[in-house]
């Protein structure tokens, strides 16, 4: 577990003080993917760099698996850092070294023998999907491949924690998805705790279990990704949720409602933690003598299942519709009848 208590960082410039991280406290469970989201200047980079002391805290503590990182001497910190891998937005690779030499670099520093290092490097290259690119230089790789090298290098010393500093912000959407998929894979295969910072809510939605929202150096909201998405409280959180879900008031437009209102029931199905949303619709259509027509919806998958809403039109005999409604109510899906046709 990682326990962060009352962590602060004050930058002093020209006799002025600036609190970039302001009294942050957090608990991150072993093996989870924890996301910190905030707009530019919120203090995310400073926060993540305080965890491995790339930035020295002004006050507060960071404890990783029972060891207080903030209290370590320089020598002990160097050893502890082998347990904390990090990847960066702009990869930070060594341009004059090949893929395999980049990945071997932290092993050289840790004093691992050449033979052992070569074996480990090959394992890592296979793990991140770079087999065949061993002898390439970073300049011969795509952005996604460069980040794969960054991930392999960060994993070289078998860390317990991986810090990701905007790791996908420089990548296109498709490559972002592939790298996020790789991070989930690594998290599951190696049981690695991942802490990531981002300004993109879809990154949080896709891979995180828990999330903290940062504003002006503070955490203003936190919880499980599903809870924060389903019931965002603070204005900044609502804005982030809108990045992936759209505005709540353009859910079902009056025009669409008018188009379908004369015929059948219009239902709003609300999914939270539902893993089989498609199955429920087809099950209803099969089990009951009703037709179900999806009008509009926005369902997103998270690590804990799907959430979002779906507007459907249901037509059929009144008793069949009632039975179908009762069936849906017996599942974990909330149903609201918007109009009775």
Does 38 bind ligand ATP (CB under 6 A)? Our answer is: yes
What count of Cα atoms within 13 Å lies in the side-chain half-sphere of residue 33? 25
Residue 152: strand, helix, or coil: helix
Closest C-alpha to 244, from 172, 173, 145 = 173
User: What is the rounded CA–CA span in Å between residue 163 and residue 188?
Assistant: 16
**Binding letters toward ligand ATP, positions 187-226, x by CB under 6 A:** ------------x---------------------------
Residue placing its CB nearer to ligand ATP in the complex, 45 or 309:
45
Exposed / middle / buried, residue 279 (Cβ in 10 Å: 0-12, 13-18, 19+) = exposed
Closest C-alpha to 104, from 152, 60, 172, 65 = 152
DSSP assigned state of 93:
-
Q: Nearest approach, Cβ of 309 to ligand ATP (angstroms)?
A: 31
Does 168 bind ligand ATP (CB under 6 A)? Our answer is: no
Q: Nearest approach, Cβ of 261 to ligand ATP (angstroms)?
A: 46
Query: What angle separates helix 173-190 from helix 143-155, to the nearest 10 degrees?
Result: 20
Does 90 bind ligand ATP (CB under 6 A)? Our answer is: no
Q: Looking at 38-46, 131-139, 144-152, 203-211, which segment touches ligand ATP (CB under 6 A)? A: 38-46
Q: Residue from 4, 34, 45, 288 that binds ligand ATP (CB under 6 A)?
A: 45
Does 41 bind ligand ATP (CB under 6 A)? Our answer is: yes
Q: Nearest approach, Cβ of 20 to ligand ATP (angstroms)?
A: 3
Residue placing its CB nearer to ligand ATP in the complex, 44 or 206:
44
User: What is the rounded CA–CA span in Å between residue 27 and residue 34?
Assistant: 10
Q: Nearest approach, Cβ of 22 to ligand ATP (angstroms)?
A: 10
Residue placing its CB nearer to ligand ATP in the complex, 100 or 166:
166
Q: Residue from 1, 18, 30, 235 that binds ligand ATP (CB under 6 A)?
A: 18
Q: How many CB atoms lie within 10 A of CB 95?
A: 9
Residue placing its CB nearer to ligand ATP in the complex, 43 or 106:
43
Question: Which residues, other chains included, contact 136 with Cβ-Cβ below 8 Å and sequence gap of 6+?
Answer: 98, 99
User: What is the rounded CA–CA span in Å between residue 114 and residue 107?
Assistant: 9
Does 14 bind ligand ATP (CB under 6 A)? Our answer is: no
Q: Nearest approach, Cβ of 42 to ligand ATP (angstroms)?
A: 4
Q: What does the binding site for ligand ATP look like in residue numbers (CB under 6 A)?
A: 11, 13, 18, 20, 38, 40-46, 199
């Amino acid at each position: 577990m990682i326990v962060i208590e009352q962590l602060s960082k004050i930058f002093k410039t020209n006799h002025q003080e600036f609190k970039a991280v302001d009294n942050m406290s957090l608990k991150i469970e072993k093996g989870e993917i924890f996301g910190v989201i905030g707009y530019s200047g919120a203090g995310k980079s400073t926060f993540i760099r305080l965890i491995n002391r790339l930035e020295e805290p002004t006050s507060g503590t960071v404890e990783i698996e029972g060891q207080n990182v903030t209290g370590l001497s320089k020598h002990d910190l160097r050893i502890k850092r082998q347990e904390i891998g990090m990847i960066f937005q702009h990869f930070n690779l060594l341009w004059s070294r090949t893929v395999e030499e980049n990945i071997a670099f932290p092993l050289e520093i840790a004093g691992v023998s050449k033979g052992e290092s070569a074996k480990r490097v090959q394992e890592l290259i296979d793990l991140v999907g770079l087999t065949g690119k061993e002898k390439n230089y970073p300049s011969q790789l795509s952005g996604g491949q460069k980040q794969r090298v960054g991930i392999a290098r960060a994993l070289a010393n078998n860390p317990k924690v991986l810090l990701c500093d905007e790791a996908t912000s420089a990548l296109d959407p498709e490559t972002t998805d592939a790298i996020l998929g790789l991070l989930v894979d690594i998290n599951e295969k190696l049981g690695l705790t991942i802490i990531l910072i981002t300004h993109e809510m879809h990154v949080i939605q896709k891979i995180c279990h828990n999330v903290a929202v940062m504003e002006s150096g503070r955490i203003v909201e936190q919880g499980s990704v599903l809870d924060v998405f389903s019931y965002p409280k603070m204005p900044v959180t609502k804005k982030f949720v809108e990045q992936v879900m759209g505005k709540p008031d353009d859910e079902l437009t009056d025009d669409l409602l008018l188009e379908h209102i004369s015929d059948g029931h219009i239902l709003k199905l609300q999914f939270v933690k539902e893993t089989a949303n498609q199955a429920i619709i087809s099950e209803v259509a099969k089990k009951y003598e009703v037709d179900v027509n999806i009008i509009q919806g926005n369902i997103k998958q998270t690590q804990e299942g799907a959430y979002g809403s779906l507007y459907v039109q249901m037509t059929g005999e009144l008793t069949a519709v009632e039975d179908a409604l009762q069936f849906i109510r017996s599942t974990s899906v909330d149903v609201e009848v918007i109009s009775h046709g």
